[in-house]
């Protein structure tokens, strides 16, 4: 499996309808265990690429705050939305302001819970267990894809509670969730 095979799996799950995490589990459970391991590796790589301060700031605005755990759920939700949403978050997190789900969340004044999607992360583990009868996905992933140690560059840290800074760095999202910069 390569990176180009990753997104069609999510689209296939979306085509099944119903809760996406359940549909993804079903799609993955119909594949060989090695493919599930590879899917999880690509998922982890995509999720790690979003581990940046500017993406976290976007999550902070959309969610009305964002803890470490919530940021994991936010990145899962971005991946669950598909390749296009992922590319927006990866290249220009402020561009998330154009997503209808984000605009709806801003208008409703809610906490963006539809974007924070914890259950999506667990679908590969559940599928792997259905296929193999054990919950050893992470061990299988470590054997198949030994992890490289090293620090991830998150970019420049900044104060998410500084309204002026948020307006400067993420003007469209800040306008939606914080109002005018004036």
Average pLDDT over residues 138-149: 88
The ranges assigned to domains in the chain are: 3-147+155-178
**What does pLDDT average to over the chain?**
94
* Contact yes or no for 137/125 (Cβ under 8 A): yes
d(CA 48, CA 79): 11
For residue 176, the model assigns a pLDDT of 95
Q: Which residue do the tokens 């939606």 mark? A: 176
Distances (CA, A) of 169 to 8, 61, 69, 128, 173: 32, 12, 23, 40, 9
Distances (CA, A) of 16 to 55, 81, 112, 164: 29, 15, 24, 43
Other Cβ atoms less than 10 A from the Cβ of 51: the count is 15
Average pLDDT over residues 6-35: 97
- What are the tens digits of pLDDT across the range 51-108? 999 999 999 999 999 999 999 999 999 999 999 999 999 999 999 999 999 999 888 8
Choose among 72, 56, 49, 54: nearest CA to 155: 54
For residue 4, the model assigns a pLDDT of 84
């Amino acid at each position: 499996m390569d990176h180009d095979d990753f997104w069609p799996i999510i689209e296939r799950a979306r085509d099944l309808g119903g809760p996406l995490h359940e549909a993804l589990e079903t799609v993955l459970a119909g594949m060989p265990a090695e493919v599930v391991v590879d899917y999880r590796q690509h998922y982890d790589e995509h999720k790690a690429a979003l581990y940046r301060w500017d993406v976290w700031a976007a999550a902070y605005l959309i969610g009305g705050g964002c803890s470490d755990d919530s940021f994991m759920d936010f990145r899962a939700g971005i991946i669950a939305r598909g390749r296009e949403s992922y590319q927006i978050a990866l290249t220009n997190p402020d561009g998330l302001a154009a997503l209808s789900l984000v605009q709806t969340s801003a208008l409703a004044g809610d906490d963006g819970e539809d974007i924070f999607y914890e259950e999506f992360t667990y679908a590969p583990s559940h599928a792997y267990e259905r296929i193999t009868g054990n919950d050893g996905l992470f061990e299988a992933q470590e054997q198949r894809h030994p992890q490289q140690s090293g620090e991830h560059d998150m970019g420049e840290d900044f104060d998410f509670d500084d309204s002026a800074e948020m307006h400067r760095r993420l003007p469209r999202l800040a306008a939606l969730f914080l109002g005018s910069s004036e």
